[in-house]
Amino acid sequence: MDVFPLMIRRELGRFALTAEAKWIGKSLSVMIYGGDVPHVGAVSVAYPSKSEFRDASIVTMSTLSLPGHKDYVVSGPLAERLAKALNTPVVVTVGVHIDNASPQDLETVVAEIESMVDELASALK
């Protein structure tokens, strides 16, 4: 596992998104930010474990969201997806704010973030 950060940046018209990933030992830290006001809006932690009730692998996830922020909508599912795909603990921090965002802007942002995370997962396997 490389210790240097991997960064993906996408320009989307009037705003940009950045995804950065860095191995910290055998754990992965991912930051996704952008828009008009990049920030920390939500942090999700996910890790693979064994089910207590059956012989199966599961992913446990917890999220902390700052008041008024909806970044948890993407941080949680992405942390789960990466933890499952890479079989390792993952922290995902998301902070994207777009002034006067339309529903189409939000759909575009979510789709682009998912695409960026797919690209990160492929590069990190």
pLDDT at position 11: 94
pLDDT at position 2: 55
Nearest partner of 91 among 26, 14, 18, judged by Cα: 26
On whether the pTM is more than 0.75, the answer is yes
Domain boundaries, the chain: 6-124
pLDDT at position 4: 63
pLDDT at position 70: 93
- pLDDT lower than 70: segments of the chain: 1-4
11 contacts 116 by C-beta, under 8 angstroms: no
pLDDT at position 14: 86
CATH-assigned architecture of domain 6-124: 2-Layer Sandwich (3.30)
